[in-house]
Amino acid sequence: MADQQARPGEDKRPSEIPVIRWEEPPEGPVLILLDQTRLPSEEVELVCTDASALVEAIRSLAVRGAPVLGIAGAYGVALAAARGFDVDEAAEALESARPTAVNLSLGVRRGLAAYRDALAATGDPTAAATAALASAQALHREDAEASARMAAHGLALLDELMPGGGHRVLTHCNTGALVSGGEGTAFAVALAAHRVGRLRRLWVDETRPLLQGARLTAWEAARCGMAYTLLTDSAAGSLFAAGEVDAVLIGADRIAADGSVANKVGSYPLAVLARYHHVPFIVVAPVTTIDPDTPDGASIEVEQRPGFEVTEILTPQATAVGGGGGVPLAPLGTQAYNPAFDVTPPELVTAIVTEEGVVSPVTPEVLAALCAKARAT
């Protein structure tokens, strides 16, 4: 168990993390990503000069997490347009790079619509490329604003559920600045609690097999000076049993119209544990993650990842794409079950926190009303 005490004053602002940015050097426009497969040991940038490099970065999880996948998708369309590639082809490849996070296809479609509208209006591909870029930049800004509003709503909810303060929050996967134009979703709520002195401890699930909790959330928590403790996913049960968890805060990759929540595999077992131990299970996600076109949990496509992510320990040199070359954990030829996500039914979700407010209890009607309100503003 790695342990870290709160260090007041060490709050390096998550906005300083260079997650994704657009640059226009003389050789032509590029999209620059912080390569998340190399964290925490190295902060290395990945320069994408075309959409196919970005597709590869998405598949290998160099860039990952629902909101930033949407932002990346929109920039990917802009990149294809600015570099004179076939924009429709690039959009299709980007949209299908990973299936579960609805934000990816939303971001791609938004960039593509801006490109097509401008092309139809002006007949000028350069003007259309500029419009696609403006649309990606707007999405980037909007996500940062949504993140700040989710943090405020989430903090108010924690205080309402636990008026005494001193929250001990368990989180899974990574939901901070690395997944967002701002400070993230669930992590942003914990960070808001930390800033007002009400986060007693952030319990960080390591998140097998790709260790987004250990590699990324612990890295972000340390940068922010939060009191955090890392645990193996399978230690969560005894932590609940010991009465050490006041709330679970997680993000989402897609929320179906009935309130079913797809998130990193291991979220559903936490929801079951939380219910058994009478602990609130809170999902924090922007309204864009709610997909009215997906009726229920069974309709969510869950990405299946290659077995070697489970049977090997991957090093930065042996990344998810390509496979093999990692340190073997199991006999050669062992088959592995490796879904990237699982689905939590709405009845196990205490509340969904969005930038438009909190949904609790989680019902299709309240979710539909929230989406309608967001569309109207």
Binding-site residues, in ranges, read 64-66, 98, 212, 263-264
- Find out whether 22 and 137 touch, Cβ atoms under 8 Å: yes
CA–CA separation, 33 and 333 (whole Å)? 34
Instruction: Check residue 253 for interaction with ligand MRU (CB under 6 A).
Output: yes
Instruction: Check residue 287 for interaction with ligand MRU (CB under 6 A).
Output: no
The single residue of 143, 246, 253, 342 carrying the catalytic annotation is 253
Sole binder of ligand MRU in the list 119, 224, 274, 340 (CB under 6 A): 340
Phi, psi of 228 (to 5 degrees): -135, 155
Residue of minimal CB distance from ligand MRU? 251
Stretch that binds ligand MRU, among 87-95, 114-122, 145-153, 246-254 (CB under 6 A): 246-254
CA–CA separation, 133 and 137 (whole Å)? 6
Residues between 191 and 230 that touch ligand MRU (CB under 6 A)? 212
Instruction: Check residue 105 for interaction with ligand MRU (CB under 6 A).
Output: no
Stretch that binds ligand MRU, among 9-17, 25-33, 60-68, 121-129 (CB under 6 A): 60-68
- Find out whether 169 and 248 touch, Cβ atoms under 8 Å: yes
Nearer to ligand MRU, 253 or 356 (CB): 253
Kindly determine how many residues on this chain lie close enough to bind ligand MRU according to the rule CB under 6 A: 17
Binding-site residues for substrate, in ranges, read 64-66, 98, 212, 263-264
Instruction: State the angle between helix axes of 66-82 and 51-59 in degrees (0 to 180), rounded to the nearest 10.
Output: 160
Phi, psi of 160 (to 5 degrees): -70, -40
Sole binder of ligand MRU in the list 74, 101, 102, 193 (CB under 6 A): 101
Return the number of other C-beta atoms located less than 10 Å from residue 254's C-beta: 27
What strand order describes the sheet that includes 341-344? 290-291, 254-256, 261-264, 341-344
Instruction: Check residue 282 for interaction with ligand MRU (CB under 6 A).
Output: no
Sole binder of ligand MRU in the list 260, 263, 294, 311 (CB under 6 A): 263
Instruction: Check residue 171 for interaction with ligand MRU (CB under 6 A).
Output: no
Active site residue 253: yes
Quick one: CA dihedral 305, 311, 316, 321, positive or negative? Answer: negative
* Cis-peptide, bond into residue 40, ω within 30° of zero: yes
- Distance from CA of residue 100 to its chain's centroid? 11
Which of the residues are catalytic? 253
Residues at the contact surface with ligand MRU, assessed by CB under 6 A = 61, 64-67, 101, 173, 175, 179, 185, 212, 251-253, 263-264, 340
